[in-house]
Structure 1
Amino acid sequence: MALPPASAPGGTPQASEVPQEPLRILLISIHGLIRGTQLELGRDPDTGGQTKYVVELAKALARSPWVAGVDLVTRRIEDAAVSGDYAEPLEPLADKARIVRIDAGPPDYLRKEDLWDHLDSFADHLFTWIQNQPARPDVVHSHYADAGYVGVKLARLTGLPLVHTGHSLGRDKYRRLISMGLALEKIEGDYNISRRIDAEEEVINQAALVITSTRNEIEDQYELYDCYNPDKMVVIPPGTDLQQFHVADGSEPVQGSGFLEGLQVSLKDPTKPMILALSRPDLRKNIITLLEAYGESKPLQRLANLVIVAGNRDDVRDLDEGPQAVFTELLIAMDSYDLYGLAALPKHHSSDEVPLIYRLAASTRGVFVNPALTEPFGLTLLEAAASGLPLVATENGGPVDIIANCRNGLLVDPLNKEAIAQALITILEDANQWQAFSRNGVRHVAQFYSWDAHAEAYLHQLNQLVQQQRSPLASSRILSGDRRRTKAIFTAIDNTLLGDRDGLSLLSQLIRERRKGCLFGIATGRRLDSVLTIIREYDIPVPDILITSLGTEIYYAPHWLPDLAWAKHINHLWTPQVLRATLKELPGLQPQSRKEQSQFKYSYHYDSQHAPSLDQVRAILRQQDLLVNVTLSFGQYLDFVPVRASKGQALRFIAQRWSIPLDRILATGGSGGDEDMLRGNTLGVVVANRHREELSILGDTEHVYLAEQSHARGILEALEHYDFFNL
């Protein structure tokens, strides 16, 4: 069994520069349970290595003199089933770091697959929170696809550079679930995999920098995406806390914990070397194969005990379906192989005991094993290595780099039980090899995988991003606003405001009566001249604000002055010549008339019989590194605008300028081009018309009302539904 080839230390860049000014960093990690102490690692699939990573990253960055502050943003949870700690809006983490908890959706603890419908609300709440802080962050760093979805929205609204860490990726997961024989419908139903992959495509395309833990992630996982661009990806391996994880030095007893007392009851001979596995009870962690490998190897049973630490449990029957299935298999295998007294599945351990568990295993001259089907990185491998334990680990993913750098273990095929058993026997039988692996691990983890080294390399990368010109949205407001206007109505025109003359007359009268306390705005795909013509023709009240050309232009009454700061903001990475050349090659797209085009909007007639699907069009644009928003309206009009432009983003820009909370803005629409205006914390209204199916996805979204009446009468119905003028 050969050692993996040596490599550079994870490809980590050498930090030769530091920020010119201390940086303010916003980290976003939404799902799971995040707090500063007593992390509930392994509680469920959402509370694993990523939880620990973001907390340790925030602490490490806060120690740097080149960091002014770190905000780790997560979701606020108020649920009797979890600790009250997760309901606290703010939690100090270090001298310059804190955890910030943002509301999104119901207060209950939700698994990450059920959070998608609430992420727009999370983004709006977080955007509002940022505006109310004394200083803006210099960079946004999102973790996992759900935070990436939010990060993309924030980057487009604020102009802040976006950094992303995937931790694991949907396309890779989808590939592996298919290989396990799961039906497509079950994958979609259980994992919401399409929404996750779409979000990942957007964040990889939008991000200025993608940070990975291993070269394998870049070459084997990110390569699966349409917008794969290795030039903006960098490997910075996570660190490990060397204050917690270290070899036993005599300063604290290895013996004497409740965990150890439990093992002494469970094992016939607790002094034998310990084969230790530590992970959450997840089928992908493949610990059942490890138990079977041990059960089928009498030589291994004679050499060592097996201890599998897989979260905490009181009664297997009370666990969620996934963990329950894992423990059921483990307990059946224990009984089948008659491993009582040789193997242990401890029911409880605290996070404070984990460093002790590693040192206990090392004191018996044991081995740490990670048999996962794939391991994106492997923080437990670093913790075990720092504690002096040799490793046996899966050959799929991060362990390849870790063992190559640390020279402290063997890689195995996680599905080959004989190979797992033989690797363990090889290390356990050779005292010299065990000692060499143990010594190498301790030395090289300190050299390659400390949090301070990680923070230094990380800040070197961030410094290059923040030196770029700041967004015009970072400047102070150019409008003071009328403080009597405490709410606003924004509506689309075609098939929303128009379509019922009598209903429009009633709505117009109501708006005129309420003008003193309420802004009135129109958001449309039409150009300014076309909108003004319609306003005169239909005797619509003159709006205070016009959002035209699908959110690419903002005008203020009475002289229709354009907002130049908005134009500068959306011009970011807009390459119209490249876009036109790319679209020219696609069948089924015919440019609309010149009067429908503008500087920041290109409009086409869309023939669904001959043109690529909307998803295919987006994929083609990503492959060309084009950052563009694509909108299909009324089933036949396809519009392309800069990635920072849309009706919804323009509306939020205006809300910020006029200091009007989003939950006091009624936004109405009737076609696909209105979707992002209605999502999030606005009071959304979908009027009844023949194109409302384009917005059917919003039916289960909070703050969206599906009116029974059409056109202007649907808006009147919604005003009554929300009791809008009495808010």
Structure 2
Amino acid sequence: MINLIQDVLESDERSDLRQFASQLRASDKRYLLRNDILAAFSEYCASHKKPEHFFQHSQLGQLVYYTQEIILDSESLYLLIRPKIASQEVYRVLEDLTVESVTVQELLDLRDRFVNHYHPTEGDVLELDFQPFYDYSPTIRDPKNIGKGVRFLNRYLSSKLFQDPRQWLESLYTFLRVHQFQGTQLLINGRIQNQQQLSDQVKRALQFVSDRPDDESFAEFRFKLQEMGFEAGWGNTASRVRDTLEILDELLDSPNDEGLEKFISRIPMIFRIVLVSIHGWFGQEGVLGRPDTGGQVVYVLDQARSLEKQLQEDIKLAGLEGLGVQPKVIILSRLIQNSDGTRCNERLEKVHGTDNAWILRVPFREFNPNVTQNWISRFEIWPYLETYAIDAEKELLAEFQGRPDLIVGNYTDGNLVAFLLARKLQVTQCIVAHALEKSKYLFSNLYWQELEDKYHFSLQFTADLIAMNATNFVISSTYQEIVGTPDSVGQYESYKCFTMPDLYHVVNGIELFSPKFNVVPPGVNENVYFPYTRTEDRVPSAIERLEEMLFTQEDPAHIFGKLDDPTKRPLFSMARLDRIKNMTGLAEIFGKSKELQERCNLILVAGKLRVEESDDNEEKDEIVKLYRIIDEYNLHGKIRWLGVRLPKGDSGEIYRVIADHRGIFVQPALFEAFGLTILESMITGLPTLATQFGGPLEIIQNKVNGFLINPTDHEGTAEKILDFVSKCDQNPNYWEEISNKGMERVYTTYTWKIHTTRLLSLARIYGFWNYTSKENREDMLRYIETLFYLIYKPRAKQILEEHMHR
């Protein structure tokens, strides 16, 4: 990008850059983010009567487009430029318009100086740099391939391994020998003693099963295969065994990465899975709508059901049913003694609709029962996680009667516990971020000290660094979650380089081009969320009850607002009441548009109705704000606010009832990591408008199967809603057209079957490479442990001491 800067300085636009810089200095802001920069440049172009093309197509316009941050100090203009996805460059422009490059360390010092926390006379701050640990591992080159890590890793390591045929055969042979289930040997036994015998016996076995009827059960010829050195696990019928052996035979003779992935994906090596979801109220009834629950609870429960179902299918296809092999999935969460009428005080709860999936709740140790016996905010949970992991390990080993095969962490706290468990048990680990708080709260790292009492971001961000670097692989719901878009920085990308003033500088926090990143979007529970047109599966009494609750029922304890005209088209939204979900923002958009109020009603299912009923500070603030907006814009008679906790069945039917009324679902979040409610509304047939900031950008194809909105642009959002309403009024088929395309989008891309098949394939392939490549990650893990013991633990102890005096 230095060339582009030089082009600006050597052209007539040099004076424009000087004047633009002068305009920025005249404003109050000294730290501008991309939206601020674009707005300021637009203002400059207008005030200086620049031609229309200048904003985008001039050299200065291009430079502004690529600039993510501008920091102004007394003498210089610092430009943080993002020339392409997952890349940044920093330049200092002096008053005489000379330009010099700025190092990462200088940038972090500058940011510290900006918040008056730069103390060079006191010595350097701790620097964290994970890059050296990635220098000897393969990295992806093309940003387009980020999120397709397993494909790259398999291709790269396969090519290296296949170069040495002897090592390749030895690695595969030893890998096949290690597989067993509770003492029962799988795949190959002691009659095959080396790799050459393996190759010979595969050909013998192939010849044998080729003469059997395709549908003949494995049990019928099991003992004959045992004599040749093959145990159960190759298939449940002669045709399945033959197919698997053919893949292996071709792999032994002509190895290639596609064949290896196909073969490894068939190997029965995962039977016991732990899904870690610590914080919040984790239950199946009476918890949705409470702080720290919602999307993550739904995600993990649906994932557990789907994983068990897929494991059962895999075990059957592998021919292991006759051996009594049964998969087990455990959701590890915390036990809350004062459970407020929920089942969160029960140690073990079976997951509905499963044979052997369980919620295992382990309590926090009782340092202070007044705290630990109650729900604890996700922002204050940190002091209890290490001892929790120690206690949970014992419980898991007892429940599984052995070690699990895969541990999947969820959210920052669950990911940290997953790391501690996987480190101790030597198990393959996966993490799912769901939401990285650093992206949700602007400048949260820069002003962490001012926010520490409320949010404890020093622990949150440290735990994120630990988990994302320690894990074997990462599951991301979307590509942009990792590295954003050409216009915005990704959640993980924000950890690449940042400062926590007076605590540490992160020079390189994560290798974005690492093959550990994989995009595997979640699905939606099709038993609960299905199209409104499937009337045969809907319950008339539930429809009638929800109709009344949504539009006419009077219940001051749980419902605020009476509609003057319940027949108007409903605008519907359902989310927690917190700042990021922005339900108050949607109410304000509605309040500012008289035309929207004339044509629609606003119906919100959101949190609680009264401040005194909430334990969450953000929720309290949003409750007060929502009442203020209703009064300020006189929305009485036009809005319904339901402070209810919906049972699972009702949460699906409520979308369908809104669809019956030809309504619209609006998701107005300031940022949404993925957006399960978007999938839920689309699959039920409800046309959906959702935030353009985050995951919805990849779910919704704008103006094809839904609409993207900028919820910070109140007027623009109202116009998009009104435009859709007008088109529906003019052409009733238009509502159905968007409805049908939304359903099609979910069914072809976002099902749990697709998700779990991919997740298990990833776990097997990463497990294979961890075993065969003998990758030495001990140096990185020791570095991570140092971060845990020297930064995380002392800061967690400070919270614990405060909790002890409550």
| Kept in 2: contact 1:13–1:236 (CA 8 A) | no
What corresponds to 2:279 in structure 1? 31
Once the 2 structures are TM-superposed, how far is the Cα of residue 361 of structure 1 from its aligned partner? 1.1
| Kept in 2: contact 1:387–1:442 (CA 8 A) | yes
Kindly, what percent of the aligned residue pairs are identical?
Answer: 29
Bigger drift between 10-19 and 111-120 goes to 10-19
> Following superposition of structure 1 onto structure 2, how do residues 143-542 of structure 1 map, counting pairs within 5 Å?
143-175=410-442, 177=444, 184-219=448-483, 220-225=490-495, 226-230=509-513, 231-248=515-532, 249-251=534-536, 252=538, 253=540, 255-258=543-546, 260-261=548-549, 263-265=551-553, 266-313=562-609, 315-320=610-615, 321-351=617-647, 352-404=649-701, 407-431=704-728, 432-468=733-769
| Kept in 2: contact 1:405–1:444 (CA 8 A) | no
Correspondent of 1:50 among 277, 296, 300: 296
Counterpart CA distance in 1 for 2:355 and 2:686 is 33
TM-score w.r.t. structure 2 length?
0.56
Match of 2:701, SS?
helix
Counterpart CA distance in 1 for 2:149 and 2:603 is 34
**Structure 2 letter corresponding to 1:100:** L
Once the 2 structures are TM-superposed, how far is the Cα of residue 368 of structure 1 from its aligned partner? 0.5
Once the 2 structures are TM-superposed, how far is the Cα of residue 408 of structure 1 from its aligned partner? 1.6
**Structure 1 letter corresponding to 2:335:** R
Correspondent of 1:116 among 378, 382, 386: 382
Counterpart CA distance in 1 for 2:641 and 2:266 is 47
Unaligned runs of 5+ in 2: 1-143, 152-260, 316-326, 366-371, 484-489, 496-508, 554-561
Bigger drift between 12-21 and 107-116 goes to 12-21
Match of 2:572, SS?
strand
Counterpart CA distance in 2 for 1:446 and 1:368 is 18
Bigger drift between 403-412 and 294-303 goes to 403-412
Cα-Cα RMSD? 3.2
Counterpart CA distance in 2 for 1:196 and 1:63 is 34
1:71 aligns with 2:330: yes
Q: How many residue pairs align between the two structures?
A: 488
What corresponds to 2:357 in structure 1? 97
1:41 aligns with 2:300: no
**Structure 2 letter corresponding to 1:157:** K
**Structure 1 letter corresponding to 2:521:** P
1:573 aligns with 2:780: no
**Structure 1 letter corresponding to 2:535:** G
| Kept in 1: contact 2:583–2:668 (CA 8 A) | yes
Once the 2 structures are TM-superposed, how far is the Cα of residue 291 of structure 1 from its aligned partner? 1.1
> Following superposition of structure 1 onto structure 2, how do residues 589-628 of structure 1 map, counting pairs within 5 Å?
626-628=780-782
Counterpart CA distance in 1 for 2:459 and 2:781 is 19
**Structure 1 letter corresponding to 2:438:** R
Alpha-carbon displacement from aligned partner over 1:490-542 (angstroms, at most 9, x marks no partner): xxxxxxxxxxxxxxxxxxxxxxxxxxxxxxxxxxxxxxxxxxxxxxxxxxxxx
What corresponds to 2:116 in structure 1? none
Counterpart CA distance in 2 for 1:700 and 1:290 is 36
Alpha-carbon displacement from aligned partner over 1:268-307 (angstroms, at most 9, x marks no partner): 2222211101101111111222111111212212221111
Relative to structure 1, is the Cα distance of residues 11 and 407 closer, same or farther in structure 2, using a 3 angstrom cutoff? Answer: farther
| Kept in 1: contact 2:689–2:706 (CA 8 A) | yes
| Kept in 1: contact 2:270–2:405 (CA 8 A) | no
Once the 2 structures are TM-superposed, how far is the Cα of residue 309 of structure 1 from its aligned partner? 0.9
**Structure 2 letter corresponding to 1:222:** Y
Relative to structure 1, is the Cα distance of residues 178 and 272 closer, same or farther in structure 2, using a 3 angstrom cutoff? Answer: farther
1:88 aligns with 2:346: yes
Once the 2 structures are TM-superposed, how far is the Cα of residue 63 of structure 1 from its aligned partner? 0.9
| Kept in 1: contact 2:444–2:451 (CA 8 A) | yes
Match of 2:565, SS?
coil
Relative to structure 1, is the Cα distance of residues 406 and 427 closer, same or farther in structure 2, using a 3 angstrom cutoff? Answer: closer
Alpha-carbon displacement from aligned partner over 1:45-76 (angstroms, at most 9, x marks no partner): x1121111111111111111237211110011
Counterpart CA distance in 1 for 2:672 and 2:783 is 34
| Kept in 2: contact 1:11–1:215 (CA 8 A) | no
Once the 2 structures are TM-superposed, how far is the Cα of residue 186 of structure 1 from its aligned partner? 3.7
Once the 2 structures are TM-superposed, how far is the Cα of residue 12 of structure 1 from its aligned partner? 11
| Kept in 2: contact 1:275–1:304 (CA 8 A) | yes
Counterpart CA distance in 1 for 2:620 and 2:664 is 27
Once the 2 structures are TM-superposed, how far is the Cα of residue 371 of structure 1 from its aligned partner? 0.7
**Structure 2 letter corresponding to 1:442:** M
Alpha-carbon displacement from aligned partner over 1:398-442 (angstroms, at most 9, x marks no partner): 100110399321111110111111111121111243222101011
Once the 2 structures are TM-superposed, how far is the Cα of residue 468 of structure 1 from its aligned partner? 4.7
Alpha-carbon displacement from aligned partner over 1:129-148 (angstroms, at most 9, x marks no partner): 23334131111111111112
Match of 2:603, SS?
strand
Relative to structure 1, is the Cα distance of residues 178 and 418 closer, same or farther in structure 2, using a 3 angstrom cutoff? Answer: farther
Once the 2 structures are TM-superposed, how far is the Cα of residue 349 of structure 1 from its aligned partner? 4.6
Alpha-carbon displacement from aligned partner over 1:226-264 (angstroms, at most 9, x marks no partner): 123342111111110122112223233374115624522
Counterpart CA distance in 1 for 2:412 and 2:796 is 20
Relative to structure 1, is the Cα distance of residues 405 and 150 closer, same or farther in structure 2, using a 3 angstrom cutoff? Answer: farther
**Structure 1 letter corresponding to 2:359:** I
Match of 1:340, SS?
coil
What corresponds to 1:139 in structure 2? 406
Relative to structure 1, is the Cα distance of residues 630 and 214 closer, same or farther in structure 2, using a 3 angstrom cutoff? Answer: closer
Counterpart CA distance in 2 for 1:631 and 1:20 is 32
Counterpart CA distance in 2 for 1:197 and 1:149 is 11
Counterpart CA distance in 2 for 1:200 and 1:696 is 15
Counterpart CA distance in 2 for 1:700 and 1:335 is 39
Higher helix share: 2
**Structure 2 letter corresponding to 1:414:** P
Counterpart CA distance in 2 for 1:150 and 1:465 is 20
Counterpart CA distance in 1 for 2:469 and 2:618 is 33
| Kept in 2: contact 1:27–1:72 (CA 8 A) | yes
Relative to structure 1, is the Cα distance of residues 357 and 271 closer, same or farther in structure 2, using a 3 angstrom cutoff? Answer: same
TM-score w.r.t. structure 1 length?
0.62
Unaligned runs of 5+ in 1: 1-6, 472-567, 576-625, 633-642, 647-671, 680-694, 706-727
Once the 2 structures are TM-superposed, how far is the Cα of residue 124 of structure 1 from its aligned partner? 0.5
Relative to structure 1, is the Cα distance of residues 395 and 114 closer, same or farther in structure 2, using a 3 angstrom cutoff? Answer: same
Counterpart CA distance in 2 for 1:700 and 1:189 is 9
Once the 2 structures are TM-superposed, how far is the Cα of residue 631 of structure 1 from its aligned partner? 8.3
